[in-house]
Amino acid sequence: MKQSFCGLVSISFREHSPDRIVRAVFDAGLNAVEWGGDVHVPHGNEEKAQEVKTLSGKLFLPEYGSYYRIGQSDPSLFDKVLASARILGTPMIRVWAGAQSSDRILNDDYQKAVSDARRICLLAPETNICLECHPQTLTDEYHTALAFLHDVGCNNLKMFWQPNQFRSHAYNMDALTALLPYLTSVHVFTWKREKRLPLYKGKAEWKEYLSLLKTAPRAYMLEFMHDDRLETLKETAETLMEWLH
């Protein structure tokens, strides 16, 4: 990635149309969108992907948010994901690292996930295949995420990162430091366990995260407003851009 982007993860507003989201993103002064593969750009719907690509105009589309689960989904689903991503022109595809927590998965299931991750990385050598630190996946803990990256052994297998709202700030700093060489995108929000807060409430923590993250270009993508209102996007975007600039 040659430059940083500030944008929105479209699933933050599933109930709104792509057209409404694009207008809100421009109005907020952002320059990028991650289109979700469930509602806004469904996997394999090439006509919709082209429509949204055109609608996005000058916005950057750094990532496509798929719901492919490594080792769990029908393998043919990734063909549809890849087709949509290529029409959008995104250099990154988000996938999920299975559907089991890292401390519960059986070895056979783990090896199946490793094999599938390697398969999809080889299918899309020009694209970064990106995992997230989601609960109930193989990457729910940063040590296991590092082990999985190593076991797959593909240079285009990367990581997205977001603070874990159920962990301490010290843990999040350790995780960020460890995963930094693999990080391409950051999903930005301020949550305390299940409670969503306005982004500015996390200033102290994000100041420390950004001191590490700003060493290289990355995508900074706002995900879920604290009140689920599209009208809040502008003030949240202003907070993020103030921190970055």
Q: Copy the structure tokens of residue 238.
A: 């202003």
Contact 41, 35 (CB under 8 A): yes
Beta-bridge mates of residue 185: 160, 219
What are the tens digits of pLDDT across the range 177-188? 999 999 999 999
- Other C-beta atoms closer than 10 Å to the C-beta of 160 total 27
What pTM value is reported for the model?
0.95
Cα(193)–Cα(195) distance, integer angstroms? 6
If you count them, how many residues does the chain have?
245
pLDDT band at 4 (very low <50, low <70, confident <90, very high): confident
Per-residue pLDDT at 39: 96
pLDDT band at 172 (very low <50, low <70, confident <90, very high): very high
Per-residue pLDDT at 245: 86
Q: Which of 180, 179, 128, 182 has the alpha carbon at shortest distance from 156?
A: 128
- Rounded mean pLDDT of 106-130? 97
Q: pLDDT: is 60 or 135 the higher one?
A: 60
Contact 80, 44 (CB under 8 A): yes
Contact 187, 223 (CB under 8 A): yes
Q: Pinpoint the alpha helices (H) of 161-202.
A: 169-179
- Other C-beta atoms closer than 10 Å to the C-beta of 192 total 11
Contact 114, 138 (CB under 8 A): no
The CATH number given to 5-244 is 3.20.20.150
- Rounded mean pLDDT of 63-69? 98
- Rounded mean pLDDT of 39-59? 97
Cα(132)–Cα(40) distance, integer angstroms? 20
Distances (CA, A) of 215 to 63, 158, 190: 20, 17, 22
What does the mean pLDDT of the chain come to?
Answer: 96
- Rounded mean pLDDT of 53-77? 97
Check whether 3 has a pLDDT greater than 90.
no
Q: pLDDT: is 105 or 117 the higher one?
A: 117
Per-residue pLDDT at 135: 87
Regarding beta strands 128-131 and 157-161, do their DSSP bridges make them parallel or antiparallel, or are they unpaired?
Answer: parallel
Per-residue pLDDT at 239: 97
- Other C-beta atoms closer than 10 Å to the C-beta of 26 total 13
pLDDT band at 134 (very low <50, low <70, confident <90, very high): confident
Cα(57)–Cα(12) distance, integer angstroms? 20
* Residue 57 one-letter amino acid: G
